[in-house]
């Protein structure tokens, strides 16, 4: 296991998960904005760890494994919090789409790695867009309170719906890229 700045930032993101949960449920008027800001900081570490790993030449197998795990854990946790707090069917469906896509693509990548075809399912541009829109949307929904007169929660919902659409689109792209290999191996 190699500890360096990028991996440390990723571990901090994982450690932030229970902190976000605790802050989210605190009976204080500042709790939801604080949870949103903590999630935003975690989102920044997601970008920063990858940047530093490339910039400092500190990429590692451990980091390549840990980073997507941290991303999936924090997003799934936040989605569960949001659905529990606002149990609307559309929000539950969006959470299922996002979490289901993550499980599907992770399994697809694992299988493609096992057969030596991982390059077919490398991270796509749409997946990076999805992650950005998703992080901002979840951050705003966690923050919840209006800011400068803007309906922060509503804007977050719209962004999360957009992220769900991009999620489906990117998953279909991965499946389409892997389909010929899957058919040849079956």
Q: Which residues of 39-48 are buried (b: 16+ CB within 10 A; e: fewer)?
A: bbebbebbeb
**Which residue is it, tokens 């951050």?**
139
Domain of 68, CATH number, reads 1.20.120.1760
Q: What is the pLDDT of residue 119?
A: 74
DSSP code per residue over 51-88: HHHHHTT---HHHHHHHHHHHHHHHHHHHHHHHHHS--
Contact 31, 143 (CB under 8 A): no
Phi (first) and psi of residue 87, to 5 degrees: -75, 65
* CA-based nearest residue to 75, from 41, 47, 101, 39: 39
Q: What is the pLDDT of residue 2?
A: 65
**Which residue is it, tokens 């901090």?**
12
77 C-beta neighbours (distance < 10 Å), count: 18
Over residues 86-144, the pLDDT tens digits come to 999 999 999 999 999 999 988 888 888 888 877 777 777 888 899 999 999 999 999 99
Does residue 63 register a pLDDT over 90? Answer: no
Percent of the residues in the chain that have a pLDDT greater than 90, as a whole number: 69
Residue 85 in tokens: 């707090």
Does residue 151 register a pLDDT over 80? Answer: yes
In angstroms, rounded to a whole number, what is the distance separating the alpha carbons of residues 139 and 4?
27
Over residues 26-41, the pLDDT tens digits come to 999 999 999 999 999 9
Query: Which pTM was predicted?
Result: 0.92
User: Partners of 150 in the beta sheet?
Assistant: 147
Q: What is the pLDDT of residue 100?
A: 96
Domain residue limits at 77 = 5-185
| Overall domain count for the chain | 1
Q: What is the mean pLDDT of residues 164-170?
A: 94
To the nearest whole number, what is the mean pLDDT of the chain? 92
């Amino acid at each position: 296991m190699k500890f360096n700045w990028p991996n440390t930032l990723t571990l901090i993101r994982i450690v932030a998960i229970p902190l976000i949960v605790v802050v989210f449920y605190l009976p204080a008027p500042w709790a939801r904005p604080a949870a949103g800001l903590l999630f935003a900081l975690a989102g920044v570490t997601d970008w920063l760890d990858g940047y530093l790993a490339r910039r400092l030449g500190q990429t590692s197998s451990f980091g390549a494994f840990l980073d997507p795990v941290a991303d999936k854990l924090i997003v799934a946790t936040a989605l569960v919090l949001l659905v529990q707090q606002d149990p609307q069917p559309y929000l539950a469906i969006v959470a299922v789409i996002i979490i289901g896509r993550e499980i599907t693509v992770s399994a697809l990548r694992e299988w493609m790695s096992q057969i030596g075809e991982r390059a077919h399912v490398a991270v796509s541009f749409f997946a990076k867009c999805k992650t950005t829109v998703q992080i901002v949307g979840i951050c705003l929904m966690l923050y919840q309170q209006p800011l400068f007169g803007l309906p922060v929660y509503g804007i977050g919902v719209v962004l999360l719906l957009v992220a769900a659409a991009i999620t489906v689109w990117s998953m279909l792209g991965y499946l389409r890229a892997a389909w010929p290999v899957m058919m040849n191996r079956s």
